[in-house]
Amino acid sequence: MKKDEFFLTWRGLHGDANISGIVKAWLSISYVVVKPISKARITPNILTIFGLFFGVLLFVNAETFWAPALLVLSLICDGIDGSLAIITNKSTKWGAILDSTVDRLTEIFWVLALYKIGADLKLLIIVLLAASVQEYVRARAAGLGVSEVGIVTFAERPVRASFVFIVFISLQFNFTIYNQIIICWIALQLISLFMLSRFTYFKLR
């Protein structure tokens, strides 16, 4: 599959979302990474499960120097499973449900890992609820026929992972500023939830 065809298929699966900027850059990288993987006997669903597996390992090893690497591996698996499904022509509705479910479970283990290293539980509950509600609104809107739910907010999953990554990197240098970082994350997450809710409201009126 050529890159242009890959982009076209991705757009069709994401409500004809515009491919530009960061999205285009990530898809281009994902395409290059997945091409050799597509020749091996690795299915998209296996990659999805590996994303959860590395998320669990992150929780188990949260207090070690392996934590940032495990988070990156978890995010990579989640980021390229959809691209692998497109290139190998194995996109299924079950795969989409599995991917979304595993994403939510993996993020729970990210938050548990933050709690394990000493982050404030109340802050973690707030940020997890805000992120979960945002994803629920998007999924529910899509179920009600809103095809343009591809609006990019300030706190999409890669951004949420970036906050977690910054926390674990700061910990490697003995900077205990994780609660301050999480407060910044909460602020962006609440703004993002408002953005998506407002967008969805006007689409469903």
Backbone dihedral region of 92: left (phi > 0), alpha (psi from -120 to 50 degrees) or beta?
beta
pLDDT digits (tens, 9 = 90+) for 83-117: 888 888 888 888 889 998 999 999 999 999 999 99
How much is the pLDDT for 27? 79
What's the rounded mean pLDDT across residues 184-204? 93
| Selected catalytic residue, list 16, 78, 99, 103 | 103
Q: Is 99 labeled as catalytic in the residue annotation? A: no
Domain 3-204 architecture: Up-down Bundle (1.20)
CA–CA gap between residue 71 and residue 149 (Å, rounded):
27
pLDDT digits (tens, 9 = 90+) for 1-42: 788 888 888 777 766 666 766 667 777 888 888 888 888 878
What's the rounded mean pLDDT across residues 58-85? 92
Nearest one of 131, 140, 87 to 108, comparing CA atoms = 131
